[in-house]
Amino acid sequence: MFMLKTLSSRLTLTLLLLFVSVMAVVVFSTYQSGLLWQDRVNQSLYRGLVNSVSRDMHIDDIRKIDLVGVKSNFRRLVGRDLALDAYLLGGDGQILAATSSAERGRVDSEALGEFFALEPDFPVYGTDPNSESAFKIFSAAKISDDLGQMGYLYVVVGEERYDSIIDKLLHHNCIKLLSRMGIASGVVVILLGWILYAAITGPIKRMCLNIDAYEESGFTDLALLQTQRGSDSADVWHLKQTVQRMAEKISEQLRQLQSMDKLRKEQLVQLSHDLKTPIAAQRGYLETLLLASDKINPAKAKHFQQQALDNTQILSQRVEGILELARLDNQSHPCQLEVINLSELCADTVQQLESLGLKQGISLSLNMPADAIEIMADIAQLQRVLINLIENSFSYTSSDARVELTMLLLDSGEVRISVADNGCGIAEDELLLLFEPYHRSSVELPQQHLGLGLAICKKLVSLHDSNLQVQSTLGEGSNFYFDLQVCCAWPMARVPFNSV
* CA-based nearest residue to 391, from 381, 406, 403: 403
- Decide if 360 contacts 399 (C-beta within 8 A): yes
Q: What is the number of H-type helices and E-type strands within the chain?
A: 10, 13
Enumerate residues 6+ apart whose C-beta is below 8 A from 189.
15, 18, 19, 22
Domain identity same for 111 and 137? yes
| CATH number for position 427 | 3.30.565.10
| Domain finish residue from 329, 359, 375 | 329
* Residue 106: per-residue pLDDT: 85
Residues 294 and 248: their CA atoms lie apart, in Å, by 70
**Residues 21, 101 within the same domain:** yes
Same domain, yes or no: 319 and 377 = no
This model's pTM is above 0.95 = no
pLDDT at residue 498 in the model:
40
Pick the last residue of a domain from 129, 149, 169. 169
295 plus 367 within the same structural domain: no
Residue 225 lies in a domain: no
In this structure, the answer to whether residues 312 and 434 fall within a common structural domain is no
Give a yes or no: residue 257 inside a domain: yes
Q: Which 3 state secondary structure label does DSSP give 498?
A: strand
* Nearest partner of 500 among 344, 318, 334, judged by Cα: 344
Give whole-number Cα distances, 157 to 34, 68, 104, 376, in Å: 17, 14, 17, 99
Q: At what angle do helices 163-216 and 234-291 cross, to 10 degrees?
A: 30
Domain that holds residue 41: 3-169
Residue 201 lies in a domain: no
Cα distances (angstroms) measured from residue 404 to each of 185, 226, 366, 411, 419:
89, 55, 6, 22, 6
Q: Please tell me the predicted confidence (pLDDT) of residue 297.
A: 79
386 part of a folded domain: yes
Give the pLDDT score at 101.
76
Q: Are residues 317 and 378 in the same domain?
A: no
User: How do strand 363-368 and strand 402-409 relate by DSSP bridges?
Assistant: parallel
359 neighbors 398 (Cβ within 8 angstroms): no
Residue type, 133: S
Looking at 169, 195, 215, the residue that finishes a domain is: 169
Domain shared by 296 and 371, yes or no: no
Sites in the chain below the pLDDT cut of 50:
1-2, 159-165, 168, 446, 492-500
CATH of the domain at 299: 1.10.287.130
Q: Could you tell me which of 376, 341, 383, 388 has the C-alpha nearest to residue 490?
A: 341
Same-domain status, 29 and 107 = yes
Q: How many domains does the chain have?
A: 3
* Shared domain check, 493 and 351: yes
Q: What is the DSSP string of 406-425?
A: EEEE-TTSEEEEEEEE-SS-
pLDDT for position 3:
52
Residue 155's DSSP bridge partners are 86, 139
Residues 98 and 157 in one domain: yes
Q: Is position 208 within any domain?
A: no
Give yes or no: residues 343 and 476 share one domain. Answer: yes
Could you tell me if 304 and 345 lie in one domain?
Answer: no
In a domain, 399, yes or no: yes
* Neighbouring residues of 468: CB distance < 8 A, sequence distance ≥ 6: 385, 435, 454, 457, 458, 461, 462, 480, 481, 482
Q: What is the pLDDT of residues 34-63, one digit of tens each?
A: 778 888 888 887 788 778 777 777 666 666
